[in-house]
Amino acid sequence: MAWSWSHTADAYAAAEENVRNKDREWLEIVFAEWHACPDPVGDPEEFDEKKYDKALQRAARLPETDLAAYVWDRMSEYAICTNGGFEAYACPCGCHLVSFDREEPEQEQPDLEQAETDDEQESRPTDE
């Protein structure tokens, strides 16, 4: 069971910032889910795979700021959150959530294989 939003202005600002800090792949997927299943209170069986695939292609051409703005607009239009109000539904399916508390921006993880290769090269003796 989901609840409606009933939070402070600071909580809404934090949730919006959290959306804007999500990585591009996350934004593209959520954008596409809104196009494939536009009614979050409707039947989940109405998810249209063709619309999802088409929307993913469209999302790839849009700037991240536009994707984030679209996702936030749809989220705030329906204003659905988890029981207890801790996280907002970012998608119509409820599988992508955003906290109403400020989150640390996602940072790209270093390529561990490349780091190991670099470490190996540094630890080899040199012929001097």
List pLDDT tens digits, range 28-72.
Answer: 999 999 999 867 665 667 788 999 999 999 999 999 999 999 999
Please check whether residue 123 lies inside any domain of the structure: no
Please check whether residue 115 lies inside any domain of the structure: no
Please check whether residue 126 lies inside any domain of the structure: no
Please check whether residue 51 lies inside any domain of the structure: yes
* 96 close to 33: Cβ distance less than 8 angstroms: yes
DSSP secondary structure letter of residue 74: H
What is the domain count for the chain?
A: 1
Please check whether residue 84 lies inside any domain of the structure: yes
Please check whether residue 49 lies inside any domain of the structure: yes
pTM summary value:
0.75
Give the angle subtended at the CA of 41 by the CAs of 38 and 47, to the nearest 5°. Answer: 45
- What's the domain range around 54? 3-105
Burial 41-51 (b: 16+ CB within 10 A, else e): eeeeeeeeeeb
What pLDDT score was predicted for residue 51?
94
